[in-house]
Amino acid sequence: MNVDPACDILGLVDIQPTFMPGGELAVADGDAVVPVVNRLLPRFSHAVATQDWHPPGHTSFASAHPGRKPYDTLEMPYGAQVLWPDHALQGSANAALHPALNLSPVRVIIRKGYDPAIDSYSAFFENDHRTPTGLDGWLRQRGFRRIFFAGIATDFCVAWSAEDAVRLGYDVVVIEDACRGIGIPTKAGRTTLDDARDRLTTLGARFITSAEL
């Protein structure tokens, strides 16, 4: 697959130590995305990155809800919310973008999840699906039309970003070996990874490997 520097951009989603082995919300093999992404970056003239950036006591933390435990689901004013371990705390070393990540092509960093009353998975909207981050306007003004996504977690922040990108009219490609997912069981024989892939495929997003670039 050819990359057009005029209209293609690489979207790096939450590549932070907090989501890697040893982090507060560790995703299995999460650190393996860093070398893959660093190999991909020279293929792109432009990249954007997101950074989870939570204040203490964020409403998405299980610790903010007495009697609840991580991975419970709770109804919030903006919809169903998975409750997470405390993670990506503002100013902490684990909330920084991974120190080995090549940030030279990254033109914009979108911080999300900083509002204590609402979680934020997508690079484009808070979880109310209405409050924008401003990324869409920046991409349109710069003329980007296709977004290649990499990062963590495939079934949450990557998937929600990709879904919103499709609905906003972008061509979307998910680079599977440059992503890692959580895979929470949903029903017999299925996980949040399966559900996210089905949703994205139905919307028209493509899945490739880095070797195809």
Q: Show which residues are catalytic.
A: 14, 112, 157
Half-sphere exposure of 116 (CA within 13 A, CB side): 7
Report the distance separating Cα 88 and Cα 166, nearest Å: 27
Phi, then psi, of 116 in degrees rounded to 5: -65, -15
The beta strands (E) that lie in the chain are given as 8-13, 47-52, 73-76, 79-82, 106-112, 146-152, 171-180, 185-187, 190-191, 206-208
DSSP structure string for 149-208: EEEE-IIIIIHHHHHHHHHTT-EEEEEEEEEE----EEETTEEHHHHHHHHHHHHT-EEE
- For residues 175 and 200, is the Cβ–Cβ distance under 8 A? no
